[in-house]
Amino acid sequence: MFLSVFDMFKVGIGPSSSHTMGPMVAAARFLDAMRASPFKFAGLRASLHGSLAFTGVGHATDRATILGLAGFTPESYDAKKAEATLQMINADHRITVDGLPPLAFNPKTDLIFDYDTKLEGHANGMMLMATDAQGDVTLRETYYSIGGGFVMTEKELAAGKDTDEGAPIPFPFKSATEMLEMSKTSGKTIAQMKRANEVSRNGEIHLRAGTKRLWQVMNDCIDRGLNSEGTLPGGLNVKRRAKGIHDALMAERGLNQPAPHTINDWMGAYAMAVNEENAAGGQVVTAPTNGAAGVLPATIRYYLDHVPGASETHIEDFLLTAAAIGGLVKFNASISGAEAGCQAEVGSAAAMSAAGLCAVMGGTPEQVENAAEIALEHHLGMTCDPVKGLVQVPCIERNGLGTIKAVSAASLALRGDGTHLVPLDACIETMRQTGADMSEKYKETSLGGLAVNVPNC
């Protein structure tokens, strides 16, 4: 099983990897299918289903779908150009993209939020259709946004999760047990095995440049969040808090004997800065999703700014280790809140972050596995219940607490020798089963939990 670090960590836009980035990616894929088709097209239609319908407006799914059909992609997104394009489409009811004729599209009638029709493959389903001059559908494809910006067609999803068809890799572990066995046999750390896999596919220069860019985007996102004020969009009137917390912490730095628990406030501020940027539609890195994008960057920033002896030279090892753990969770369970609740998002992010921190602080592979298990175990059962379908409440604070859990899990694991009762594989399987048993009300539909008990105004 191979899942690249650049699949697990993708540069994109907020507020949601599954509800914003995924639909945009799906639309771009549909345009490619249209270009490859022998049919002549005159129009476009789209329908959103399941969680994409119920929380689509709050997650900007409608905007993302339209912009994807207009040729936009998450990695090259230009906000000003996007706004101008949306205005033109709303005015002219027409989409123009390279390689295709002008296509009729009225956002009010050709984009449907279908709350009644459930697509069987995944909670995040959408259908994209191209029509001829008479308005008849001549090309149709069903896409599923399965979390973290990953998109699969109906056929791809039915074919199974392990669709990697590339060249063999040196360390093809599919479970934590296999990962530890390969580590013991080879004498390599988890990061070294993951690095060997990455280099075998894309080369060392690509890996180094790519991981450097990932951290740059993550760190820039933290800094923007720590320097931004105001109210987040969407109607809940949630005020940005990261800057105020950070400013207060900076002012207190010169005081004698600060309370030890204030370190939690630093971690919380870093994580909330990212998720406030995400909620505002800013540039973030999926880690492994947008809704959980703050945990891992905040953990790295905590390491660099507050741990003696920390060095940026270790960030690549952090990301590689975290990606290895994230790949196991995704392959054997889920990283999608719509599929398994927030345990699959912030829980996975905490496990990845705990593993990465443990590794760069000298942990053995066994301690790294233990750190990931502790962090994930103590997110089991966590629901996804965003108020008004916005990635704000409880999502922003939840990333702060996820960061604190990640650091605590790494610390606990480093205090031990790696032996523990519950294997990471068992914890991942428990998360999968818990997600399967969880009521759909608590899986990103905003039909239960805080979403129905907190006024949406």
DSSP one-letter string for 180-200: HHHHHHHT--HHHHHHHHHHH
Q: Which is it for strands 43-50 and 111-114: parallel, antiparallel or unpaired?
A: parallel
- The confidence score (pLDDT) of residue 457 equals 58
- The confidence score (pLDDT) of residue 163 equals 47
159, 185, 207: which is the final residue of a domain? 159
User: Is there a domain that residue 52 lies in?
Assistant: yes
User: Is there a domain that residue 89 lies in?
Assistant: yes
Looking at the structure, tell me whether residues 49 and 145 fall in a common domain: yes
CATH number at residue 39: 3.30.1330.90
CATH number at residue 441: 1.10.4100
- 86-90, long-range: CB < 8 A, 24+ apart: none
Rounded CA-CA distance 184/256 in Å is 46
Looking at the structure, tell me whether residues 421 and 285 fall in a common domain: yes
Looking at the structure, tell me whether residues 149 and 242 fall in a common domain: no
User: Is there a domain that residue 1 lies in?
Assistant: no
Q: Is 31 helix (H, G, I), strand (E, B) or coil?
A: helix
| pLDDT averages per 10-residue partition of the chain, 457 residues | 94 93 97 97 98 93 97 91 96 97 98 95 96 97 95 92 72 98 98 98 96 98 98 96 97 84 97 97 96 98 97 98 98 96 98 98 98 98 96 98 98 98 98 97 94 84
Looking at the structure, tell me whether residues 127 and 205 fall in a common domain: no
363 close to 407: Cβ distance less than 8 angstroms: no
User: Is there a domain that residue 2 lies in?
Assistant: no
Q: String of b and e for 162-177 (b: at least 16 CB within 10 Å)?
A: eeeeeeebebebebbe
Looking at the structure, tell me whether residues 155 and 180 fall in a common domain: no
Q: Using CA of residue 384, residue 387, residue 388, residue 392, what is the dihedral sign?
A: negative
Q: Is 48 helix (H, G, I), strand (E, B) or coil?
A: strand
- The confidence score (pLDDT) of residue 164 equals 61
User: Is there a domain that residue 5 lies in?
Assistant: no
Looking at the structure, tell me whether residues 186 and 299 fall in a common domain: yes
- The confidence score (pLDDT) of residue 159 equals 87
- 435-441, long-range: CB < 8 A, 24+ apart: 435/333, 435/334, 435/339, 435/340, 435/341, 435/343, 435/344, 436/340, 438/340, 438/341, 438/381, 438/383, 440/123, 441/385
What is the signed CA dihedral for 262, 264, 269, 274, rounded to 10 degrees?
A: 170
Both structure tokens of 393: 């409440």
Residue 362 CB partners (closer than 8 Å, separation 6+): 414
Looking at the structure, tell me whether residues 85 and 197 fall in a common domain: no
Q: Using CA of residue 296, residue 3, residue 15, residue 211, what is the dihedral sign?
A: positive
244 close to 293: Cβ distance less than 8 angstroms: no
- By C-alpha distance, which of 223, 408, 393, 189 is closest to 297? 223
Looking at the structure, tell me whether residues 62 and 130 fall in a common domain: yes
Q: How many domains does the chain have?
A: 2
Looking at the structure, tell me whether residues 232 and 333 fall in a common domain: yes
User: Is there a domain that residue 6 lies in?
Assistant: no
Rounded CA-CA distance 309/311 in Å is 6
User: Is there a domain that residue 63 lies in?
Assistant: yes
Rounded CA-CA distance 109/316 in Å is 47
159, 189, 212: which is the final residue of a domain? 159
Looking at the structure, tell me whether residues 145 and 221 fall in a common domain: no
Rounded CA-CA distance 395/173 in Å is 32
User: Is there a domain that residue 224 lies in?
Assistant: yes
Residue 250 CB partners (closer than 8 Å, separation 6+): none
Looking at the structure, tell me whether residues 349 and 250 fall in a common domain: yes
Structural domain including 60 reads: 17-159
159, 193, 222: which is the final residue of a domain? 159
Looking at the structure, tell me whether residues 315 and 356 fall in a common domain: yes
